[in-house]
């Protein structure tokens, strides 16, 4: 018979708890983790230590308390819900752990491209111009989920001054700046990026879509998971709805969705918030059939094609701060 009291909760693997809380393991120091609040956590066996608070303890309940700052009662309550809804937890306590759908997805090694601190102000201005909240963007930047990239591209225009100094023809260059959104596996491992050029309409996705996704919001225990088509739409949807119990993930187009993250929270309501077009409607119907046993709702944008357009409409109506952006 499964243990359900406080002592029974201490049997749960601290590593599984860290993953369930949205912590990300350091790629080099395997006992070091980064919490969603960007705090450094050391996990040594069942012993946990929060370097920001200077406090620690032992066992799964203490892990929740020292990662989140919650009380004993709140931590135990979260852990009970987590144990009740996690196939991995059930299997471990019964000593017959079966691979979950999440374990079946091979996560390839991926090294995110280097961020350009110098280019961030221009990238931030571009995103704010699309109506996105600077505070949310800075939080995502601090966690590494959003950053700027910059490179210089040679043009056909001759730089006469530099050519004269060099004694040969030197062409002018122009900066290419991308806003880059990090895609992660359910355990926080980077699996790819989505790039969006701040000049023109350049878009690029690196990494396998089925291996991870960009997400924003409550990664600990969401009651609602909304699916949109782009990282900008994900942030927009989060701003427009903003409940603390919501997680918004991007499918990066109307093709596939990162299912392991949805499977981690089987009791969460799914909102199909794809674009208001034929491709978005078709994807919503496919997902409705795929998750037919879940609580599911089609949340189609009513006044515009996508959620960033809805956000910019609202911004223009309320404060007239954000002009049209491409």
Task: Answer yes or no: do 234 and 305 share one domain.
Answer: yes
- Say yes or no to pLDDT of 322 above 70: no
Task: Answer yes or no: do 42 and 85 share one domain.
Answer: yes
Task: Answer yes or no: do 148 and 281 share one domain.
Answer: yes
CATH number of the domain to which 145 belongs: 3.40.1360.10
Q: Range with the lowest mean pLDDT among 111-115, 132-136, 180-184, 270-274?
A: 111-115
In a domain, 20, yes or no: yes
**Contacting residues for 71 by C-beta, under 8 A, at least 6 apart:** 65
Phi, psi for residue 7 in degrees, rounded to 5: -65, -35
**Which of 35-44, 223-232, 285-294, 311-320 has the highest mean predicted lDDT (pLDDT)?**
223-232
CATH number of the domain to which 27 belongs: 3.90.580
In a domain, 323, yes or no: no
Confidence of residue 255 (pLDDT cuts 50, 70, 90): low
Task: Answer yes or no: do 239 and 296 share one domain.
Answer: yes
**Contacting residues for 164 by C-beta, under 8 A, at least 6 apart:** none
Q: Which two tokens stand for residue 187?
A: 């355990």
Domain count, the chain: 2
Task: Answer yes or no: do 75 and 201 share one domain.
Answer: no
In a domain, 38, yes or no: yes
Question: So what's the pLDDT on residue 130?
Answer: 94
Question: So what's the pLDDT on residue 299?
Answer: 97
When pLDDT is averaged across residues 166-191 and rounded to a whole number, the result is 81
Q: How crowded is residue 128: how many other Cβ atoms within 10 Å of its Cβ?
A: 15
Question: So what's the pLDDT on residue 97?
Answer: 29
Q: What angle do CA 284, 287, 291 make, to 5 degrees?
A: 140
Task: Answer yes or no: do 263 and 160 share one domain.
Answer: yes
- Say yes or no to pLDDT of 88 above 50: no
Q: What is the rounded CA–CA span in Å between residue 211 and residue 259? A: 9
Q: What is the rounded CA–CA span in Å between residue 149 and residue 118? A: 9
Task: Answer yes or no: do 92 and 129 share one domain.
Answer: no
pTM as predicted: 0.64
Contact 155, 173 (CB under 8 A): yes
Q: Range with the lowest mean pLDDT among 105-119, 210-224, 269-283?
A: 105-119
Return the DSSP state at 200: T
In a domain, 111, yes or no: no
What percent of the chain lies above the pLDDT cut of 70? 80
Question: So what's the pLDDT on residue 158?
Answer: 63
Q: What angle do CA 237, 146, 220 make, to 5 degrees?
A: 60
- Within the chain, residue ranges assigned H as helices are 6-9, 14-20, 60-68, 72-85, 87-93, 101-104, 120-129, 134-142, 160-166, 231-241, 259-263, 278-290, 307-318
Task: Answer yes or no: do 279 and 147 share one domain.
Answer: yes
List the end-to-end C-alpha distance of the chain, in Å, as a whole number.
59
Q: Residue 267 is part of which domain span?
A: 120-318
Using alpha carbons, list the distances in angstroms from residue 73 to 2, 80, 157, 223, 301: 20, 11, 67, 20, 39
**Contacting residues for 104 by C-beta, under 8 A, at least 6 apart:** none
In a domain, 326, yes or no: no
Q: Which residues pair with 195 in a beta bridge?
A: 180, 204
Task: Answer yes or no: do 143 and 73 share one domain.
Answer: no
When pLDDT is averaged across residues 265-277 and rounded to a whole number, the result is 94
Torsion of CA 295, 274, 234, 186, to 10 degrees: 50
Question: So what's the pLDDT on residue 272?
Answer: 96
For residue 131, the SS3 value is coil
More confident residue, 206 or 164: 206
Task: Answer yes or no: do 63 and 203 share one domain.
Answer: no
In a domain, 155, yes or no: yes
When pLDDT is averaged across residues 28-41 and rounded to a whole number, the result is 82
Task: Answer yes or no: do 211 and 92 share one domain.
Answer: no
Task: Answer yes or no: do 71 and 140 share one domain.
Answer: no
Q: Are strands 203-206 and 171-184 parallel, antiparallel or unpaired?
A: unpaired
- Say yes or no to pLDDT of 198 above 80: yes
In a domain, 114, yes or no: no
Contact 36, 21 (CB under 8 A): yes
């Amino acid at each position: 018979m499964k243990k359900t009291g406080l002592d029974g909760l201490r049997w749960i693997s601290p590593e599984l708890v860290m993953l369930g809380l949205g912590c990300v393991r350091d790629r080099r120091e395997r006992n070091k983790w980064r919490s969603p609040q960007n705090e450094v956590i050391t996990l040594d066996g069942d012993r946990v230590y929060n370097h920001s608070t200077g406090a620690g303890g032992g066992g799964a309940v203490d892990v929740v308390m020292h990662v989140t700052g919650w009380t004993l009662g709140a931590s135990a309550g979260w852990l009970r819900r987590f144990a009740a809804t996690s196939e991995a937890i059930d299997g471990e306590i019964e000593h017959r752990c079966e691979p979950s759908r999440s374990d079946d997805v091979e996560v390839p090694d991926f090294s995110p491209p280097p961020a350009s601190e110098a280019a961030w102000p221009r990238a931030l201005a571009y995103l704010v111009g699309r109506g996105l909240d600077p505070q949310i963007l800075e939080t995502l930047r601090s966690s590494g989920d959003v950053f700027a990239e910059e490179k210089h591209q040679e043009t056909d225009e001759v730089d006469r001054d530099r050519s004269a100094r060099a004694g040969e023809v030197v062409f002018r260059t122009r900066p290419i700046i991308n806003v880059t959104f990090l895609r992660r596996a359910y355990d926080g491992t980077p699996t790819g990026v989505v790039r969006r050029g701040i000049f023109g309409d350049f878009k690029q996705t690196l990494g396998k879509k089925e291996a991870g996704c960009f997400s924003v919001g409550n990664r600990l225990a969401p009651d609602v998971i909304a699916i949109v088509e782009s990282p900008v739409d994900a942030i927009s949807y989060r701003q427009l709805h903003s409940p603390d119990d919501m997680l918004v993930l991007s499918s990066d187009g109307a093709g596939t969705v990162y299912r392991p993250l949805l499977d981690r929270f089987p009791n969460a309501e799914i909102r199909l918030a794809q674009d208001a077009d034929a491709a978005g409607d078709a994807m919503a119907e496919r997902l409705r059939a795929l998750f037919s046993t879940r609580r599911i709702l089609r949340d189609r944008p009513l006044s515009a094609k996508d959620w960033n357009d809805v956000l910019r409409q609202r911004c223009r109506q309320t404060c007239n701060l954000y002009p049209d952006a491409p």
